[in-house]
Amino acid sequence: MWIAAMDAMEKGNIKSADVFVTRLLSDNSEDALVYTLAGILAYRRGREIQAVKFFNEALKFDKNNFSALFILGIIYEQKGNYIEAYNCFKKASLLYPEHTLLKEFLDKESDRVSKIYINKAKKALKGLLYERALNFVDRAIETGRRSYEAYSLKGDILLAMRDAKKAKKAYYKAIKFSAADCHAYLQLSKILLEENSIAEAKEILKRAILICPADKEVRKLYTLYSEGQSKLFVSQLEDILSNPFLTRGELAALIISAYPFVEFTFSGNVKIIVDISGHWAEEYIKKAVNLGLMDVYPNHNFLPDRYVTRQSFAKLLCKILKLFNNSDEMESNNIAIPIEDIPKEHLLYSCIKTVVAMRLMKLKKGKFEPFDYISGKEAYCAVQKVFQIIGKGRTIMDERR
């Protein structure tokens, strides 16, 4: 009767085949092949729900039933149930790995399912459901598709779970699968920075800036980190950039972190400062003062939280230019620029005129406003410009060594 049912199906005699299959089911209620045949017949008649039921019954008795797995996968794919389709094709591929048509179906579903799980993981992460997000992203990784995206997301999840060690491994795997994953490079460099793994972080950032030269965050971190910034300063930078008024302590950190002379040893008399113990910028302040870039008040106070005026900042820029022997540069830019509120008698007239001419600081409707406070962002931009100017110059410190 089995042969008769198959023969009827091959000839397209669906009614006869149905009769034979019905008899087979009544006589062989635990035969996987009979349920498979019944499923094929139901599928050919357009009865997908019934076909799914028969194929699942067949798999109860024989989990390695290739025909049931393959056709069941096709039905799920047609119904838009891509995860179930992927699971069926994956199991079938273990039985016949060289099956050409199966490979095509599996490749297509793997990509779809990976994307589905990645989206589910992102949604769970957004909802702070970290364990659930981790489960989804691991399923995405299992598909073998979009691996760089999945591992990069896994790193984000692990970071949110405060497991930097595992997150670092995930980001390394992400860049292994895709050398162009800017996000993974960026997050990895931040972790290394927190660990104070300077050399390793620098290598990652070198690769990142070559691969993602247009990425603003990569460029910013590369600029900071490649110049020897410490972890402490980087953690404070966002606050500095957003501050409408820059403090003296922040300014010390900004200039010392921006220039290569931070590594030079000062050989003069160390100045006493009594009010910076425990301040986050303490080490930066000491260097800025002992390099002669910033002053201590007569009572040995530095006043790290006092705001910096525009004229004080201009004076500092001029000190830096002189420190790097850029007097020629200063003279060439010391051209006549009308500044309404800075008369020639002003003590910093020449200095202010120079920084304006060099476009390190801007006028406000023709006025310099010397007693206004400078913002963190404006100071940061000016410091970066000065570094570009002095980049080829020699420092006085070099000559002393």
pLDDT of residue 265: 46
DSSP 145: S
Rounded to an integer, what distance in angstroms lies between the CA atom of residue 344 and that of residue 50?
A: 95
- Show the tokens assigned to 156: 């984000």
Rounded to an integer, what distance in angstroms lies between the CA atom of residue 294 and that of residue 80?
A: 68
Rounded to an integer, what distance in angstroms lies between the CA atom of residue 162 and that of residue 159?
A: 5
Q: Collapsing DSSP states into helix, strand and coil, what is residue 97?
A: coil
pLDDT of residue 401: 32
CA 332 vs CA 179, 180, 356: distances in Å: 45, 43, 13
Domains 2-97 and 126-231 are alike in CATH topology: yes
Q: Which CATH number fits domain 2-97: 3.40.50.300, 1.25.40.10, 1.10.3720.10, 3.10.20.30?
A: 1.25.40.10
What own/partner pairs with CB < 8 Å and gap ≥ 24 does 87-95 have? Answer: 91/63, 92/66, 95/64, 95/66, 95/69
pLDDT of residue 231: 52
H or E segment at 2? helix 2-10
- Show the tokens assigned to 81: 């149930």
CATH class of 126-231: mainly alpha
Q: What is the 3-state secondary structure (H, E, C) of 280-348?
A: CCHHHHHHHHHCCCCCCCCCCCCCCCCECEHHHHHHHHHHHHHHCCCHHHHHHCCCCCCCCCCCCCCCC
Buried b (16+ CB within 10 A) or exposed e, 293-312: bbebeeeeebebeebbbbbb
pLDDT of residue 264: 42
Cβ-based burial of 153 (10 A; exposed 0-12, middle 13-18, buried ≥19): buried
Rounded to an integer, what distance in angstroms lies between the CA atom of residue 391 and that of residue 260?
A: 9
* pTM higher than 0.85: no
Radius of gyration of the chain (CA): 35
What is the full per-residue pLDDT of the chain (401 aa) written as tens digits? Answer: 555 555 555 656 566 556 555 665 666 667 777 777 778 777 877 878 888 888 888 888 888 888 889 888 889 888 888 888 888 988 998 988 888 888 888 888 888 888 898 999 999 999 999 999 999 999 898 887 778 889 999 999 999 998 999 999 999 999 888 777 788 888 888 888 777 777 787 778 777 776 776 677 776 666 665 554 555 566 677 788 888 999 999 999 888 876 644 444 454 567 889 999 999 889 889 988 888 889 999 899 999 999 999 999 999 999 888 876 555 555 545 556 788 888 888 999 989 998 998 889 999 888 999 999 999 999 988 887 887 676 543 333 333 33
- Show the tokens assigned to 395: 């420092």
Paired with 347 in beta bridges are none
Domain boundaries, the chain: 2-97, 126-231, 233-400
